[in-house]
Structure 1
């Protein structure tokens, strides 16, 4: 039976990530199931949250083998959901993966580090910041986009200035920081918790794709995940690519080569 691709989008992010780079993969994209995380409250109970995500996936795809695909902070959600899906998971692809913060000293040069520090030290103040971001996303999404990509590196620099990419990003930011704000806050809270100990539970084969120029998820995260996850099949470190440009490269390979992706 063919694998069912299950996609975990980034945070901030939404199902709109599937068309960030145009609709020329429309037929293939239609087969990818994007996990709806907004329907479940992401709170202080990781087992309840990730366990329910797994139940929802199994209800929709009870018998098919699953390939989990996680981008950015969505990679952490994929990893933490995988154990609840057990052997139904045939493989896990992680793109620009955000590793547990306690795995390494990442925050010194990491774009967005102040957000993670605030979420960890003062959740109430972090929630207030997100409310301000929500207002910015509604009133001036273009400026918010430009602020988020101000520290872009590698191929993300040109990508962030591409009119079509920016037009696709704006509704993603508005949705993630607007209607799905509670999910954004809840998942960031779950991410900054210590979850390094959960990595040993991810026993299904993992492949990592990571841009060497990534500053949102430093490349050290991919290297550290490769050392700590029990079953890593391959690590693809992509020169000149950063965060979203690695996502574009992944989908390019996915739709032009047999699945699972091979290099």
Structure 2
């Protein structure tokens, strides 16, 4: 029950957070920008830029993080600068990723200055206007509200998970999954022994056809067929196999 409740919470949080850079307060910079031979003053310039946008730069050493960041590392955004230069121009890409390595924002900057240090810094300055100031949202408060809302929903429905599980068990012969309806537009297939869903389904404009997000992050399609749930599983050669989950 706790595992499945956590699955519901995870999915609810996933759809609740339309994450943007400005949703974060803390940002961590790497000790070294690995795509550059040297720093070229980029770390100091980016840190100054972010501080001017009211972000708090935390040290590379997590032991020195503020308690709010240390208690929940997902309160911290991870910034990086990537060398994307061409033969004629100095180009950089500033990226921001969350604690799950998901890219939140990517900003490109280009300079006609040929000297490396001046060119890279000029390219970085081009990204300044596209970095939004922080809104200083406390993710702990959001998660707490989500937990409370999920618990209330489960309680008010006399255990949402149990209700959906009563006749919603599916299997492909190798793994057993449970269909949990999140709301009218989305449901998940969950493994009771995992805290993340095997697959998340969202409705499309066509009845019984869904956009599917797999546990490994891949996106594909799914649909109902003769009472079964079918997922098109992407293969490395670009083709798809048909995975059929039958109701038990």
Into which bin does the TM-score normalised by the smaller protein fall?
Answer: under 0.3
Which has the larger share of helix?
1
TM-score normalised to the size of structure 1?
0.23
Q: Select the structure with the greater relative contact order (CA < 8 A; seq sep ≥ 6).
A: 1
Higher Rg of the two aligned structures = 2
Which has the larger share of strand?
2
TM-score normalised to the size of structure 2?
0.24
